[in-house]
């Protein structure tokens, strides 16, 4: 039996392996503080969970349309139009089982041998994994500490050539917490006008988590690229719904049929009660979102101060999402070895920067989606570990 060669190139997310190892250590009676996983530690707000329970009681247990229930697609379009005055139509929206599904669909649609796809490095590991799976050439866009972990239009545009089929952008960003300023997004969009064959996938799954009074700059704000923009978003991070597997995306008219057919072939529709929860999330009270974002912000400032006090560690101020990406070069450790030793010997789970791409060497990702008490205890453990190592 021999599966096709593409499977030799598929990667994965090390965060799940770290989560599994942390659970193993805990099962052996060891205490582990998990700053490794990228998910809110809050429960899904009760009114959202109740909407799903009600949907089950109301008998919403059958298939829904492949694109999602009509009121939910309308609610997504309304939400985007209120937030960005974007002129989005529900006809261009599909509800999908998780944010990841949009990147899977987009990369499948634009990746094949002979094509280049640009993606952020460090970046969400599935971008590169899926690009390699399709046989396209992955072209990393370096995301640098010296640029505040934002995209640099100047560094990105020269990487585009006639074979480039897709550019993937992500702001606010995983794993560095960077937020790309408007001036850079403007310059990038201006530069993309010279490459009309290139599609753009903007992963804006952390769009509500922007701090220090900055505004999220959505690629939806640029009508000049709307006919080739795929917008990825979803409920996982904003509404603390990672396990519900709910996402949505906006697709241009010209390729919408492709994603509809992919849905029919692969997942038929998203779990029906979950779609009713998603509808309540968008149309119900938003206080829980504000509260969660405020708590992430408070933790961000605490973790930033604590990281900068660790020996050999320095960390620039993360502007968005719920990650810090400290520089650990002066500890004398290689990043992945340090992450491993912290898990095994200090009881703190973090992720080595190289798990997000080669530019991540010398850094670790610290998720502050955990309580302040746990974060401070983790910082104490790391401090003790580094002082004796
Ligand atoms: N995009 C980014 C940048 C992410 O960090 C994640 C999850 O960590 C996703 C997409 C996927 O989200 P989901 O869990 O909804 O598939």
Lookup result for tokens 């008219």: 253
* pLDDT given at position 363: 98
Q: Is 233 in the pocket of ligand 1 (CB under 6 A)?
A: no
Work out the average pLDDT over 172-193. Answer: 97
pLDDT average, residue stretch 30-52: 95
pLDDT of 85 reads 82
Closest CA to 186 of 222, 146, 213: 222
End-to-end CA distance of the chain: 48
What dihedral angle (degrees, nearest 10) is formed by the CA atoms of 316, 319, 323, 326? Answer: -10
- SS3 label, residue 176: coil
Q: How confident is the model over 77-136, as pLDDT tens digits?
A: 999 999 998 899 999 999 999 999 999 999 999 999 999 999 999 999 999 999 999 999
Residue 13: predicted pLDDT: 87
* Cα–Cα dist 216/359, whole Å: 24
Provide the pLDDT for residue 389. Answer: 85
Residue 14: per-residue pLDDT: 86
Q: Do residues 182 and 207 touch, judged by C-beta distance below 8 A?
A: no
pTM: 0.97
Does residue 215 have a pLDDT over 90? no
Structure tokens at 297: 């912000």
Per residue in 235-261, pLDDT (tens digit) is 999 999 999 999 999 999 999 999 999
Average pLDDT over residues 29-39: 93
Residue 73 CB–ligand 1 contact under 6 Å: no
Buried b (16+ CB within 10 A) or exposed e, 88-105: bebebbbbbbbbbbbbbb
Question: Left (φ > 0), alpha (ψ -120 to 50) or beta: where does 27 sit?
Answer: alpha
pLDDT in tens, 328-337: 999 999 999 9
Q: How does pLDDT run across 1-25, given as a tens digit for each residue? A: 999 999 999 998 888 889 899 999 9
Contact assessment for residue 389 and residue 377, using Cβ atoms and an 8 Å cutoff? no
Q: Is 1 exposed, middle or buried (0-12, 13-18, 19+ CB in 10 A)?
A: exposed
**% of the chain beyond a pLDDT of 90:** 96
Domains, the chain, ranges and CATH? 5-44+287-388 (3.90.1150.10), 62-283 (3.40.640.10)
The 8-class DSSP code of residue 44 comes to P
Q: What is the pLDDT of residue 125?
A: 96
Among 168, 174, 271, 320, which is best to mutate for testing ligand 1, by the most ligand atoms less than 8 A from CB?
174
Ligand 1 atom nearest the C-alpha of 38 is: 8
What pLDDT does residue 249 have? 98
Q: What is the predicted pLDDT for the residue at 44?
A: 98
Q: Is 172 in the pocket of ligand 1 (CB under 6 A)?
A: no
Give start and end residues of each alpha helix (H) in the chain: 14-27, 46-57, 70-84, 99-110, 125-134, 153-156, 182-192, 253-266, 272-283, 287-308, 335-341, 372-388
68 Cα to the center of ligand 1, angstroms: 20
Q: In angstroms, what is the span from residue 72 Cα to ligand 1's centroid? A: 20
What is the average pLDDT across 279-290? 98
| Residues 171, 176, 177, 181, CA torsion sign | negative
What is the tens place of the pLDDT at every residue in 298-352? 999 999 999 999 999 999 999 999 999 999 999 999 999 999 999 999 999 999 9
For residues 145 and 166, give the distance between their C-alpha atoms in angstroms, rounded to a whole number.
Answer: 24
Nearest-atom index, ligand 1, CA of 173 = 3
Can you tell me the mean pLDDT for 44-55? 98
Name the nearest CA neighbour of 99 among 215, 255, 230. 230
Q: Which atom of ligand 1 is nearest to the CA of 170?
A: 3
Residue with tokens 């939806």: 220
């Amino acid at each position: 039996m021999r599966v096709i060669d593409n499977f030799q190139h598929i990667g994965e997310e090390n965060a799940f392996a770290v989560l599994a190892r942390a659970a193993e250590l805990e099962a052996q009676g060891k205490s582990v503080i998990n700053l490794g996983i990228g998910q809110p530690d809050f429960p899904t707000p009760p009114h959202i969970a109740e909407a799903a329970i009600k949907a089950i009681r109301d008998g919403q247990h059958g298939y829904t349309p492949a694109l999602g229930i009509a009121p939910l697609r309308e609610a997504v379009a309304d939400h985007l139009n209120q937030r960005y005055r974007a002129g989005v139509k529900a006809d261009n929206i599909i509800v999908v089982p998780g944010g990841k599904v949009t990147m899977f669909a987009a990369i499948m649609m634009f990746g094949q041998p002979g094509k280049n796809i640009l993606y952020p490095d460090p970046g969400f590991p599935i971008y590169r994994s899926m690009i390699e799976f399709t046989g396209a050439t992955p072209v990393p866009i370096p995301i640098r500490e010296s640029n505040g972990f934002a995209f640099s239009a100047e560094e990105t545009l020269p990487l585009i050539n006639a074979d480039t089929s897709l550019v993937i952008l992500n702001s606010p960003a995983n794993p560095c917490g960077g937020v790309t300023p408007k001036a850079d997004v403007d310059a990038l969009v201006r530069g993309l006008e010279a490459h009309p064959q290139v599609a753009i996938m903007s992963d804006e799954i952390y769009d509500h988590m922007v701090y220090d009074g900055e505004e999220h700059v959505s690629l939806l704000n640029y009508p000049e690229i709307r006919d080739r923009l795929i917008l990825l978003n979803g409920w996982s991070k904003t509404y603390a719904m990672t396990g519900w597997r709910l996402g949505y995306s906006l697709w241009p008219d010209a390729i919408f049929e492709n994603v509809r057919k992919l849905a029919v072939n692969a997942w038929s529709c998203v779990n029906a009660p979950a779609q009713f929860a998603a509808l309540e999330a968008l149309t119900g009270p938003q206080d829980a979102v504000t509260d969660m974002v405020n708590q992430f912000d408070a933790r961000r400032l605490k973790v930033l101060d604590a990281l900068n006090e660790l020996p050999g560690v320095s960390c620039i101020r993360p502007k968005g999402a719920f990650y810090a990406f400290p520089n650990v070069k002066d500890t004398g450790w290689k990043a992945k070895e340090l992450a491993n030793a912290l898990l095994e010997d200090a009881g703190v789970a973090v992720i080595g920067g190289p798990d997000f791409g080669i530019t991540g060497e010398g850094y670790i990702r610290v998720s502050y989606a955990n309580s302040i008490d746990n974060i401070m205890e983790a910082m104490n453990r790391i401090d003790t570990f580094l002082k004796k190592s």
